[in-house]
């Protein structure tokens, strides 16, 4: 099936850019009234334009019920392509007006809560001072979101990425360690072998029932169990410091607690998978908006060169040694 011709909206047999914009907004919001408010149109006008678009294409793009509006399978495929078209139109306008040489506009980002608080927010003043024409719309969640459907320019994702249609750029490595508070270890004992984890209460992040580790004999997967699960990294960190169990955590997240001796590394010969990392992901587009590239370059360079980041994400063995030294020198 050939792509629709995009010319003048006066021709009833072709698709106007404005109709693509209306369709994309309805797909993102799942609500014709909300899409209409964003564009200054009435729900009746939005509904009519969507119906005319479906008639013109000869396909149903949405399933409609009294309570819900969802994309059909055809609508899903059309939406992914429309997003790329609208992005290219924006880039073309930027090129013609020479605005593409100066990053500007609203940059909508999805990022994990703890990582943003510790390693993005502190550097926003410098970023915004350098790029004053960029506005930040930062949505914090520890869950992965559909960045195309929800209209994000990019997302910061941490861990091991699965194959997808998104483009991914690795910003930094990540070190993960198994750790617990002295209070928990005093009560439950310190695991000596990886098999000992079966007898311990392991704090679970999201749907994580399996810990992927690199050990002395190579990569392994360990099934763990516990009585606490959360999709919030902040919640797991608090439970960890309160002595409620063991956890596999990133050193950028709990490095300060390790240095102060509030947490201790156990089984230091086992660390998180070397495939883990900090990634920026964004839709696959021929032209990347300069505001997106600017953010990626700024924070990629920062995480590579900033001494504070290097310290926060230090190799587990160095962190363990620093923590042991801190505990030894602490007043009795």
pLDDT tens-digit series, residues 290-299: 889 899 999 9
Greatest mean pLDDT among 203-207, 258-262, 311-315 = 258-262
Residue 138: the pLDDT is 95
Show me where the domains of the chain are located: 17-97, 102-171+276-307, 176-274+313-329
Residue 4: the pLDDT is 41
Distance in angstroms (rounded) separating the CA atoms of residues 149 and 27: 7
pLDDT of 265 strictly over 80: yes
Distance in angstroms (rounded) separating the CA atoms of residues 20 and 234: 40
Average pLDDT over residues 175-197: 95
Kindly report the backbone phi and psi dihedral angles of residue 218, in degrees, each rounded to the nearest multiple of 5, phi listed first: 110, -170
Could you tell me which CATH number the domain at 102-171+276-307 has?
3.40.190.10
pLDDT tens per residue, range 5-36: 434 444 555 567 888 889 999 998 888 888 88
Return the CATH number of 17-97, one of 1.10.10.10, 1.10.1040.10, 3.40.640.10, 1.10.10.60.
1.10.10.10
pLDDT of 68 strictly over 80: no
Average pLDDT over residues 263-272: 93
Residue 66: the pLDDT is 73
pLDDT of 126 strictly over 90: yes
Kindly report the backbone phi and psi dihedral angles of residue 167, in degrees, each rounded to the nearest multiple of 5, phi listed first: -90, 135
Residue 223: the pLDDT is 94
pLDDT of 307 strictly over 70: no
DSSP codes joined into one string, 279-291? EEEE---SS--HH
Angle, CA of 151, 11 and 15, to the nearest 5°: 20
How large a percentage of the chain has pLDDT more than 70? Answer: 83
Residue 303: the pLDDT is 83
pLDDT of 270 strictly over 60: yes
pLDDT of 267 strictly over 90: yes
Class of domain 176-274+313-329: alpha beta
Residue 168: the pLDDT is 87
Specify the DSSP element, H or E, that contains 107: strand 105-111
Distance in angstroms (rounded) separating the CA atoms of residues 76 and 20: 13
pLDDT of 147 strictly over 90: no
| Average pLDDT score, the chain | 84
Nearest of 178, 184, 161 to residue 281 by alpha carbon: 161
Buried b (16+ CB within 10 A) or exposed e, 134-165: bebeeebebebeebbbeebbbbbbbbebeeee
DSSP codes joined into one string, 169-204? EEEEE--EEEEE-HHHHHHH----SGGGGGGS-B-E
Residue 7: the pLDDT is 41
pLDDT tens per residue, range 207-260: 778 999 999 999 999 999 999 999 888 999 999 999 999 999 999 999 889 888
Answer for the pair 274, 214: CB distance below 8 angstroms, yes or no.
yes
Q: CA torsion sign, 89 to 94 to 96 to 101?
A: negative
What confidence category does residue 145 fall into, taking pLDDT thresholds of 50, 70 and 90? confident
Answer for the pair 172, 304: CB distance below 8 angstroms, yes or no.
yes
How large a percentage of the chain has pLDDT more than 90? Answer: 44
Residues near 199 by beta carbon (within 8 Å), at least 6 away in sequence: 191
pLDDT tens per residue, range 317-326: 555 555 555 5
Distance in angstroms (rounded) separating the CA atoms of residues 140 and 163: 23
Residue 163: the pLDDT is 63
Whole-model pTM above 0.85? Answer: no
Specify the DSSP element, H or E, that contains 48: helix 43-57
């Amino acid at each position: 099936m050939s792509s629709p011709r995009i010319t003048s909206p006066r021709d009833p047999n072709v698709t106007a850019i404005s109709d693509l914009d209306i369709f994309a907004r309805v797909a993102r919001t799942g609500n014709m009234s909300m899409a209409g408010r964003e564009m200054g149109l009435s729900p009746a006008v939005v509904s009519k334009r969507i119906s005319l678009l479906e008639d013109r294409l000869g396909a149903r793009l949405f399933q409609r019920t009294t309570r819900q509006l969802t994309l059909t399978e055809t609508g899903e495929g059309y939406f992914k392509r429309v997003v790329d078209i609208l992005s290219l139109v924006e880039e073309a306008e930027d090129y013609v007006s020479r605005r593409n040489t100066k990053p500007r506009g609203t940059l909508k980002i999805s990022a994990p809560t703890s990582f943003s608080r510790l390693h993005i927010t502190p550097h926003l003043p410098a970023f915004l001072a350098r790029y004053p024409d960029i506005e930040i719309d930062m949505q914090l969640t520890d869950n992965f979101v559909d960045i195309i459907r929800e209209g994000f320019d990019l997302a910061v994702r941490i861990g091991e990425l699965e194959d997808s249609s998104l483009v991914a750029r690795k910003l930094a490595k990540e070190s993960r360690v198994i750790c617990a508070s002295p209070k928990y270890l005093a009560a439950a004992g310190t695991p000596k072998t990886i098999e000992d984890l079966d007898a311990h209460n392991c704090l679970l992040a999201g749907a994580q029932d399996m810990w992927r580790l690199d050990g002395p004999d190579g990569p392994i997967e360990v099934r763990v169990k516990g009585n606490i699960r959360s999709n919030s990294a902040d919640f797991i960190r608090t439970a960890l410091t309160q002595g409620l169990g063991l956890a596999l955590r990133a050193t950028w997240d709990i490095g300060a607690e390790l240095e102060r001796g509030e947490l201790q590394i156990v089984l230091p010969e086992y660390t998180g998978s070397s495939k883990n990392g900090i990634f920026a992901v964004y839709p696959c587009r021929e032209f990347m908006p300069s505001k997106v590239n600017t953010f990626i370059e700024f924070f990629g360079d920062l995480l590579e060169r900033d001494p504070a980041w290097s310290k926060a994400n230090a190799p587990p063995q160095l962190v363990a040694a620093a923590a042991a030294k801190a505990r030894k020198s602490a007043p009795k």
